[in-house]
Amino acid sequence: MIVLGINGNRREHNSAASILIDGKLVASVEEERITRIKCDSAYPSGAIAEVLAIAGISEQDVDVIALANLSRWDQKPILDKLFKRVALLGKQEPELKKFYWKHLFERYTRALRPRRKPEGGLANKPVQAIGHHRAHAASAYFSSPFGDERVGVITLDGAGDFSWGSVWVGANGKMQEVLHLSYLNSIGLLYSAITHHLGFIAGRHEGKVLGLAAFGNPEPFLSRLMAHTNPKDWNALFDARLTRVPLRPVSPMGTEVVKELCGNLSREDIAAGLQVYTEQMICAWVQEQVGKMNVSKLVLAGGVFSNVKLNQRILALPGVENIYVHPNMGDGGLATGAAFEVYVQMHGALRPELGSVYLGTQINRENALKALQEAGVSFEEPENLAQTVGRLLADGKVVARADGGMEYGPRALGNRTVMAPCHDPSINQWLNKKFARTEFMPFAPVILQERAHEYFPDWAEDQIAARFMTVTYNASEIAKQNIPAAVHVDGTARPQVIRREDNPGYYDILSEYCAITGVPSVINTSFNMHEEPIVRTAEEAIRAFEAAGLDALVLGPFLYRAKAN
């Protein structure tokens, strides 16, 4: 059975398409990688065509289409409940009262607007819509490494289908719903609103705020946020004043409140207070859910769980034995989750199984050779590519690698990656400058699994989340000494722990570098210019390599050295 999952209708971001064949995820691509527009929200026509091509099938082969997010009509009961809450809070906050009356009629008219339907050969295929947070939950649970074990499934993001989170119990290949959270209390949207206030792009640059937080003092901003928060009731988490923020995070109704809260505090202190607030609030709530569900393992999805420091705190909670964060935790993973859920609804159950994350466009010998020849550049095919690249890295060179299937999700995991030695902390300034980036968190390291515990003592082999760079760890003294460029000012790093069976070519390069230097780790940063998506094709890799002025490019089995041209 072939299921095509689609996220991309109306105002969703990270439009994407995924293909599931007999319950196995075989392809997934976000529309941004096709159009080269970061976080593209357009209908994913290009992504649909690409995943069909990757899977080697046609539109006619698709049995059913899974659409992420409910129809507007099916959203109406959730919206009605939300409006009742706004009306109640409007008695305390005049702006909420104005909002209620201004948008009261719209909640009826919006339900009549149809969503875009698949076209062409897909137009007559059966279609099922899957709720936003159900899709997030399914993406994490059915791709998790915990098999038949009973686990807790938690989703948290900004908002989707007028909710910002959900809780489920996963067992025996099925999910049972526990609760949903109204987006009026969205810590995710609060984080985005403050990201906007600090001069960054909401929904895209929250990671910059996370990095900035380590440089500040959480007080008094933490206390200011807590004064508007009721931690004992997550159905009424925000008071009337703070509720204005998730309703309109980047419009005056929300920005006025954020500006008032932030006052004249430094952006470092604002970021620190926001991050500590996020960690404290969510960790306390997660621990409560773990107790209620009577589980020790968690699978997590939703954009809030792109916050790697939060994930470290959750992993350390008493009673939490292990976590798995879906590699495409944001809305780019909804297409996958919708496809999984439709498959399960039609077949009754699906045993969770960890699969590959290299699910995108392939760069191989044939298309790499064609791109290099068309670019008119000199290149070579080393007899021992890994050894040659390991030596370049040991000599202090910066090497990009574009080979094999493109990664699934926002993290570069070796196939669309830029590598460099970690011994010089100043690389975070000069390499970011090459890519026209502004970051406050250092580059992440990739490390051989055999040496991971030596550099990150809290890491354990069964912590699969570390393979996908979704959690930070405290760095050891030897890590601070040997890879200081990858260690943040708070003493943490966000490693990708690599095994040879996961990516032999990438692993072998790192192994050769280690044989020369004795250091089992190099920097791994995504292969893209600032505000551009990660490169997809061989042609894009060549353009980005030349624009950044790097030293060498591994393209399939070939090596393109900048100095030779």
Long-range contact pairs involving 179-183 (C-beta distance under 8 Å, separation at least 24): 180/133, 181/156, 181/234, 181/235, 182/81, 182/82, 182/85, 182/235, 183/82, 183/158, 183/159, 183/246
pLDDT digits (tens, 9 = 90+) for 376-419: 999 999 999 999 999 999 999 999 999 999 999 999 999 999 99
Percent pLDDT > 90 in the chain is 91
Residues 138 and 84 in one domain: no
Residues 428 and 472 in one domain: yes
Is pLDDT above 60 for 564? no
With beta carbons less than 8 A apart as the criterion, state whether 533 and 496 touch: no
Q: What is the CATH number of the domain that holds 256?
A: 3.30.420.40
With beta carbons less than 8 A apart as the criterion, state whether 336 and 352 touch: no
Residues 223 and 124 in one domain: no
Query: Could you tell me the CA-to-CA distances from 403 to 272, 506, 513 in Å, in that order?
Result: 38, 9, 19
The amino acid occupying position 255 is T
Model confidence band, residue 11 (pLDDT cutoffs 50, 70, 90):
low
In a domain, 543, yes or no: yes
pTM beyond 0.75: the answer is: yes
Tokens of 252: 């005056």
pLDDT of residue 54: 98
How would you classify the pairing of strands 473-474 and 174-182? unpaired
Model confidence band, residue 448 (pLDDT cutoffs 50, 70, 90):
very high
Q: Which residues pair with 229 in a beta bridge?
A: 238
- Mean pLDDT score of the chain, rounded to an integer? 96
How would you classify the pairing of strands 297-301 and 322-325? parallel
Residue of 74, 65, 256 whose CA lies nearest to 162: 74
Is pLDDT above 80 for 437? no
Dist. CA 257–CA 96, nearest whole Å: 12
pLDDT digits (tens, 9 = 90+) for 495-530: 999 999 999 999 999 999 999 999 999 999 999 988
Residues 312 and 421 in one domain: no
Residues 192 and 263 in one domain: yes
pLDDT of residue 436: 77
Q: Average pLDDT, stretch 196-216?
A: 96
In a domain, 253, yes or no: yes
pLDDT of residue 531: 83
CA angle 558, 564, 565 (to 5 degrees): 100
Is pLDDT above 90 for 543? yes
Long-range contact pairs involving 118-124 (C-beta distance under 8 Å, separation at least 24): 118/6, 118/48, 118/65, 119/45, 120/59, 121/58, 121/59, 121/60, 122/4, 122/48, 122/59, 122/62, 122/65
Query: Could you tell me the CA-to-CA distances from 278 to 7, 187, 246, 275, 289 in Å, in that order?
Result: 27, 7, 15, 5, 16
Dist. CA 395–CA 380, nearest whole Å: 19
In a domain, 12, yes or no: yes
Q: Average pLDDT, stretch 438-456?
A: 94
Residues 129 and 82 in one domain: no
pLDDT digits (tens, 9 = 90+) for 165-185: 999 999 999 999 999 999 999
Dist. CA 402–CA 546, nearest whole Å: 14
Residues 442 and 505 in one domain: yes
| E runs forming strands in 184-264 | none
SS3 279: helix
Q: Which of 325, 346, 379 is the last residue of a domain?
A: 325
In a domain, 333, yes or no: yes
In a domain, 149, yes or no: no
In a domain, 152, yes or no: no
Q: Which of 340, 355, 370 is the last residue of a domain?
A: 355
Residue of 259, 261, 266, 256 whose CA lies nearest to 212: 266
Query: Could you tell me the CA-to-CA distances from 66 to 25, 122, 197, 334 in Å, in that order?
Result: 13, 12, 36, 10
pLDDT digits (tens, 9 = 90+) for 258-303: 999 999 999 999 999 999 999 999 999 999 999 999 999 999 999 9
Dist. CA 484–CA 357, nearest whole Å: 28
Residues 62 and 21 in one domain: yes
Residue of 171, 157, 89, 129 whose CA lies nearest to 8: 129
Structural domain range at position 241: 183-325
In a domain, 155, yes or no: no
- Give me the sheet containing 322-325, strands edge to edge: 174-182, 163-171, 151-160, 297-301, 322-325
For residue 169, the tally of other CB atoms under 10 A from its CB is: 18
Is pLDDT above 80 for 427? yes
By CB atoms closer than 10 A (0-12, 13-18, 19+), residue 383 is exposed
What is the distance, to the nearest Å, from the Cα of residue 202 to the centroid of all Cα atoms in its chain? Answer: 15
pLDDT digits (tens, 9 = 90+) for 110-139: 888 888 889 899 999 999 999 999 999 999
Query: Could you tell me the CA-to-CA distances from 11 to 41, 121, 139 in Å, in that order?
Result: 7, 24, 21
For residue 10, the tally of other CB atoms under 10 A from its CB is: 12
Residues 274 and 418 in one domain: no
Q: Average pLDDT, stretch 302-315?
A: 98
Q: What is the CATH number of the domain that holds 422?
A: 3.90.870.20
Model confidence band, residue 10 (pLDDT cutoffs 50, 70, 90):
low
Angle, helix 240-247 to helix 187-197, in steps of 10 degrees: 70
In a domain, 340, yes or no: yes
Dist. CA 219–CA 236, nearest whole Å: 24
pLDDT digits (tens, 9 = 90+) for 450-493: 999 999 999 999 999 999 999 999 999 999 999 999 999 999 99
Considering Cα of 315, then 318, then 321, then 323, what sign does the dihedral take?
A: negative
Task: Report how many domains make up the chain.
Answer: 4
Dist. CA 128–CA 555, nearest whole Å: 40
Residues 192 and 332 in one domain: no
**DSSP 8-state assignment for residue 201:** -
pLDDT of residue 522: 98
**DSSP 8-state assignment for residue 556:** T
Dist. CA 202–CA 199, nearest whole Å: 9
| E runs forming strands in 296-443 | 297-301, 322-325, 362-363, 399-402, 404-405, 416-420
Dist. CA 93–CA 477, nearest whole Å: 52
pLDDT of residue 428: 86
With beta carbons less than 8 A apart as the criterion, state whether 186 and 246 touch: yes
SS3 539: helix
Residues 219 and 320 in one domain: yes
With beta carbons less than 8 A apart as the criterion, state whether 394 and 420 touch: no
Residues 263 and 318 in one domain: yes
pLDDT digits (tens, 9 = 90+) for 22-74: 999 999 999 999 999 998 999 999 999 999 999 999 999 999 999 999 999 99
